């Protein structure tokens, strides 16, 4: 069956939170005529229907029997349960089922077990973009723009269906996927959550902690706000790889602890040099991977009326991608204006203009 014919069948999305809704919007961008059935809690479905994310609300799983493609975008444990339940239904012949879970080994084992001998094609999926935000209200049609979208195998129908997400498909073995994501996604979430909890404990005897935490702390802990149900499911689905990353990290900490106790200045300097060089060369952070690259200019601005407008007026001929005001803790500084540019040239021009026309402190760097 061609995709054109398949498209005439209904598509069912189970779970219309951040990922399910964003995928639905991406599908509709390229294929506005597809009919999307949505299954989730009643309030979520009301919002999704109202926003045009889905075409029809569903409150029973057996409606899946009408769908040509089924996409699961619920926490991992719920995904496994739905796979089991779907396998008991009288699904359409040659139905295509896919998921968006953050782990793949357990999902693919389940697929082998429950869909064996059935007329079902199950392709594991994982869009490598997201947010610490969750729920339908966080839906964003551009969420997956230029991000990698992992598939466990090539599938033209699925790739065509998802083409409006503007993601880059990549085929990865489930085990390799779970190893890599344990390092760059699962473990960092544990680290972020540990860091905020450690700081909160420390703040009990050191209330100043809450005032002195600055940009570095914020950058390292944003993902601690991610959804607890989803992340519990991720950790329980990929325990061995994650425990391996934790053990390895303990050793990294032991090594630097040792250097500090020995007051080994050279080794400590090398430790930071090494980290800096590695980060500066990480392709993923330079726009060659999932994360688009921007050139950020940080301007420390005083608490005076019209300062931001004055800076923007100076930059009126330069293309700006984004502007953010970061709060600062310094008494003399009201905040830090973060202005992002697409090219290094734009960043240099902006920097020169601000330095020429003001005496504000300016710093520039390439970042994600």
Ligand X SMILES: NC(=O)C1=CN([C@@H]2O[C@H](COP(=O)(O)OP(=O)(O)OC[C@H]3O[C@@H](n4cnc5c(N)ncnc54)[C@H](O)[C@@H]3O)[C@@H](O)[C@H]2O)C=CC1
Ligand Y SMILES: O=C(O)C(=O)Cc1ccc(O)cc1
| Under rule CB under 6 A, residue 18 binds ligand X | yes
Write down the H helix ranges in 11-128. 18-30, 42-50, 76-87, 105-115
Whole-angstrom distance, CA of residue 30 vs CA of residue 33: 9
97 binds ligand X (CB under 6 A): no
Q: Please report whether residue 100 would count as binding ligand X according to CB under 6 A.
A: yes
Strand pairing partners for 296? Answer: 340, 365
- Answer yes or no whether residue 102 interacts with ligand X by CB under 6 A: yes
Strand partners, 323: 339
- Minimum CB distance to ligand X, residue 36 (Å): 15
First to last CA, the chain: 41
Closest approach of ligand Y to the CB of residue 342, in Å: 21
How far, in Å, CA of 184 to CA of 128, rounded? 11
Q: Tell the smallest beta-carbon distance from residue 288 to ligand X (Å).
A: 20
Q: In the range 226-245, which residues lie near ligand X by CB under 6 A?
A: 227, 230, 234
Q: Are 26 and 166 in contact (CB under 8 A)?
A: yes
Q: State the binding partner of 286 from ligand Y, ligand X, none, CB within 5 to 8 A by kind.
A: none
Please tell me whether residue 41 binds ligand X under the rule CB under 6 A.
yes
Residue 155, interface with ligand X (CB under 6 A)?
no
Q: Which is nearer to ligand Y, 31 or 132 (CB)?
A: 132
Q: Report the residue number, 130 or 335, with the smaller CB distance to ligand Y.
A: 130
Residues with Cβ within 8 Å of residue 185, at least 6 apart in sequence:
102, 128
Query: Which is closer to ligand X, CB of 135 or CB of 292?
Result: 135
Q: Are 83 and 72 in contact (CB under 8 A)?
A: yes
Q: Return the number of the residue (167 or 347) whose C-beta is nearest ligand X.
A: 167
Q: Which does 223 bind (CB under 5 to 8 A by kind): ligand X, ligand Y, none?
A: ligand Y
Q: Which of 13, 15, 151, 294 binds ligand X (CB under 6 A)?
A: 15
Nearest approach, Cβ of residue 69 and ligand Y (Å)? 21
CB of 144 to ligand X, least distance (A): 9
Beta bridge partners of residue 149, listed in sequence order:
127, 169
Other beta carbons within 10 Å of 8: 12
β-bridge pairing 168-171 and 148-151: parallel
Edge-to-edge strand list for the sheet holding 294-301: 320-327, 335-341, 294-301, 362-367
Question: Could you list the residues that contact ligand X (CB under 6 A)?
Answer: 14-20, 39-41, 44, 73-76, 78-79, 100-102, 126-127, 130-131, 134-135, 227, 230, 234
């Amino acid at each position: 069956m061609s995709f054109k014919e398949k498209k005439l069948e209904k598509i069912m999305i189970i779970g219309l939170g951040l990922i399910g809704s964003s995928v639905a919007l991406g599908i509709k961008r390229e294929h506005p005529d597809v009919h999307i059935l949505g299954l989730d809690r009643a309030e979520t479905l009301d919002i999704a229907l109202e926003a045009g994310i889905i075409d029809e609300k569903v409150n029973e799983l057996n409606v899946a029997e009408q769908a040509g493609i089924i996409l699961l975008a619920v926490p991992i444990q719920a995904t496994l349960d739905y796979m089991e339940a779907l396998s008991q239904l009288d699904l359409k012949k040659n139905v295509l089922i896919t998921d968006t879970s953050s782990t793949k080994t357990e999902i693919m084992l389940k697929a082998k077990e429950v869909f064996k001998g059935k007329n079902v094609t199950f392709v594991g999926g994982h869009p490598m973009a997201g947010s610490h935000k969750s729920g339908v209200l966080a839906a964003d049609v551009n969420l997956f723009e230029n991000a990698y979208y992992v598939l466990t195998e090539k599938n033209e129908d699925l790739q065509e269906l998802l083409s409006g997400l503007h993601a880059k498909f990549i085929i990865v073995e489930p085990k390799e996927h779970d190893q890599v994501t344990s390092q760059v996604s699962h473990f960092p979430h544990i680290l972020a959550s540990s860091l905020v909890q450690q700081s909160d404990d420390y703040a009990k005897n050191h209330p100043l902690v809450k005032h002195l935490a600055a940009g570095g702390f914020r950058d390292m802990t944003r993902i601690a706000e991610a959804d607890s149900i989803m992340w519990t499911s991720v950790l329980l689905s990929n325990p061995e790889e994650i425990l391996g990353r934790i053990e390895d990290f303990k050793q990294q900490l032991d090594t630097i602890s040792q250097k500090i106790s020995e007051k080994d200045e050279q080794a400590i300097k090398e430790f930071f040099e090494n980290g800096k060089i590695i980060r500066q060369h990480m392709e993923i952070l330079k726009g060659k991977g999932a994360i688009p690259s921007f050139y950020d200019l940080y301007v420390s601005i005083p608490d005076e009326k019209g300062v931001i407008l004055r800076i923007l007026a100076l930059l009126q001929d330069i293309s700006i991608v984004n502007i953010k005001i970061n709060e600062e803790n310094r008494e003399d500084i009201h905040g830090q204006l973060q202005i992002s540019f697409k090219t290094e040239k734009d960043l240099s021009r902006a920097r020169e203009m601000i330095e020429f026309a003001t005496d504000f402190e300016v710093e520039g760097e390439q970042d994600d």
